[in-house]
Structure 1
Amino acid sequence: MTRPNAKRRPLGAILACGVLALSACVPTAPEVQKRTAPLPIVTTLEAPPSATPGSCWGKETTPPETRTVIEPVLVQPAQLSASGEVISPPIYRRAPQEYVVKPAVQRWFETPCPAEMTPEYISSVQRALAARGFYQGGPSGEMDTRTRRAIRKYQAPQGLDSETLSLAAARTLGLAPALLPQDETAPEG
């Protein structure tokens, strides 16, 4: 039996309101942060001694080369009596000892400054790397993981194992002005 004055609400509307209310209680997914390449070092703080003022630098650190050798390590020295007679012999255990064969090496390299690393410039880097077979995909203008990997693959045969673009690599890609030899006989002024 239904009452004539009672208002009927559609079931769908009631469910929609409930779902909407519950969705407000659900926490949002955490924001994912993109991993970025280490920023170039500007000469105002840290750079090699011969750095030109206003230039930007990156630093590649090669880890030390070590060798692990298992050697005996004295745990307890020999126990001697007052007359110098050995009461108990020394106790040794074998333990790994790490030796540095080749120390860590820091190598400075000049980089394009952050102001130059615009989305247009990064897109040019991506296109130049793609033309040489190091970058897959279209130019995005973002210094993403794929771009940094391509930079590393391009620079590694040239002796720089870094995902930060060096100025020398930018020059070989045709993206930075070439260095001209300075003419010592040219007039100053």
Structure 2
Amino acid sequence: MIHFRTAALGIILLSACDPITADDGLTGPGMIRLTTERPEGAAPDTCWGKRTSPAIIETVEREVLLKPAQTSSDGRIQQPAVYQRESVQEIVKEREDTWFQVPCGVEFTPEFVSSLQRALAARGIYRGPVTGEMSMRTRAAVRRLQATEGFDSDILTVETARTLGLIAVERQPE
């Protein structure tokens, strides 16, 4: 039974860098997913997720000049200008991709997930058993924690893992 759980966990977690393998069920506009794509300049051995915010489009009413006014030689208007109303859609804000780094699947060992569960429990966010499995309860706790930082997703980011003390913060050269 333990081998089955470990194998199942490995399959789920190792798929973390497959294209479009995880949609976190975000409700509302936008989509968050894991991907094999990387932002420009990212190290080749890193894994990433991408949040895509939809474009914002508005319908605008405007008047279009069909025929200019005709005037006489003394400047009097002989025929008024002719306008037509038209509705057009304009992009107010372009679609936007926001990249976020995630721990790669191989980092999601049962020991790592157990540490994650303990760290979430220590903060009063997770109330389940420490199983080493990335359960729905664990993912919900990750979402609650990240939502307080403005990132509403149950996909654990490297930034959150560092905040929890689960991933070492790399030293900057002096």
The bucket for the TM-score relative to the shorter chain is: 0.5 to 0.7
Cα distance change, pair 112–100 in 1 and its aligned pair in 2 (3 A):
same
2:16 is aligned with 1:39: yes
User: 2 CA distance for matches of 1:126 and 1:66?
Assistant: 42
Provide the secondary structure at the position in 2 that maps to 1:60.
strand
2:126 is aligned with 1:122: no
Larger radius of gyration: 1
From 117, 121, 136, the equivalent of 2:127 is 136
CA deviation vs aligned residue, 1:121-178 (integer Å, no higher than 9, x gap): 1111111011112112111211121111111111122232221111111001000001
Equivalent position of 2:98 in the other structure: 107
Provide the secondary structure at the position in 1 that maps to 2:156.
coil
Using structure 1 for the length normalisation, give the TM-score.
0.54
Using structure 2 for the length normalisation, give the TM-score.
0.58
Cα distance change, pair 145–61 in 1 and its aligned pair in 2 (3 A):
farther
Whether the 8 Å contact between 1:40 and 1:111 is mirrored in structure 2 is no
Equivalent position of 2:52 in the other structure: 61
User: 2 CA distance for matches of 1:150 and 1:109?
Assistant: 19
Provide the secondary structure at the position in 2 that maps to 1:46.
coil
User: 2 CA distance for matches of 1:133 and 1:65?
Assistant: 38
- Between 1:151-160 and 1:113-122, the stretch displaced more is 151-160
2:28 is aligned with 1:51: no
Cα distance change, pair 125–161 in 1 and its aligned pair in 2 (3 A):
same
Q: Which runs of 5+ in 2 are unaligned?
A: 1-8, 20-34, 62-87
User: 2 CA distance for matches of 1:41 and 1:157?
Assistant: 28
Cα distance change, pair 157–105 in 1 and its aligned pair in 2 (3 A):
farther
Cα distance change, pair 148–117 in 1 and its aligned pair in 2 (3 A):
same
Matched residue pairs, number?
Answer: 122
Equivalent position of 2:167 in the other structure: 176
Whether the 8 Å contact between 1:41 and 1:47 is mirrored in structure 2 is no
Displacement of 1:119 in angstroms is 1.1
Equivalent position of 1:160 in the other structure: 151
User: 2 CA distance for matches of 1:120 and 1:98?
Assistant: 52
Whether the 8 Å contact between 1:41 and 1:56 is mirrored in structure 2 is no
